[in-house]
Amino acid sequence: MNFIETAMISVSPEISKSLLDNLFEKNGEVLGVPVYRFEIDADTVAMVYDLVNAPNLPEELLHHLLPHLHSVLIATDAGKNNLSVAHREKMDRLCHKFAGIPTTVAVLTEPERIKKLTIPVLNGLFLAENSRIFLWHPDFPALKQHLWESLWLEKATGQTEDTTS
């Protein structure tokens, strides 16, 4: 069995829930951190660790994750969420811990703005070789599905996504 493990760092529990809804099943907790599971195929399982929404984040979990973490997903709402200083510090600390791991930023975007975007933008824009940004909204489930699939594609199939179309 192959596992594709993603650490999710979110600005709010609502955004985390919206990204995980209708796709992942809660698989329990590891050291107090919620873990979600999705079976990609008979041999591959995606696991998402919802780090920021855990009440406590044990260092031993980070040491456990770092050697085999496939990607980091930063879920945000384009600055509309008023984060506490403690929440911002926690997000910043996690981002520094995971430096060098392929990172995707998922930005919750208003539906009327999504409708105005071109296909190449909706497919995700590369920020760097291993970094990408996606704009999404729950009203557009195909965008959410595409975001998750882009995190899994290379690891699950050995292929990279063709974004030239």
Higher-confidence position of 123 and 90:
123
Domain ranges of the chain: 2-157
Contacts of residue 130, Cβ cutoff 8 Å, sequence gap at least 6: 101, 102, 103
- Cβ 6 vs Cβ 69: under 8 Å: yes
pLDDT at position 68: 86
pLDDT, tens digit (0-9, with 9 covering 90-100), for 30-81: 888 889 999 988 999 999 999 877 767 788 888 888 888 999 999 988 766 6
- Report H helices in 21-140: 59-65, 85-97, 111-115, 119-122
Residue 15 burial class via C-beta count within 10 angstroms: exposed 0-12, middle 13-18, buried 19 and up? buried
CATH number of 2-157: 3.40.50.300
Instruction: Give the model's confidence band at 157: pLDDT under 50 very low, under 70 low, under 90 confident, else very high.
Output: very low
pLDDT at 90: 80
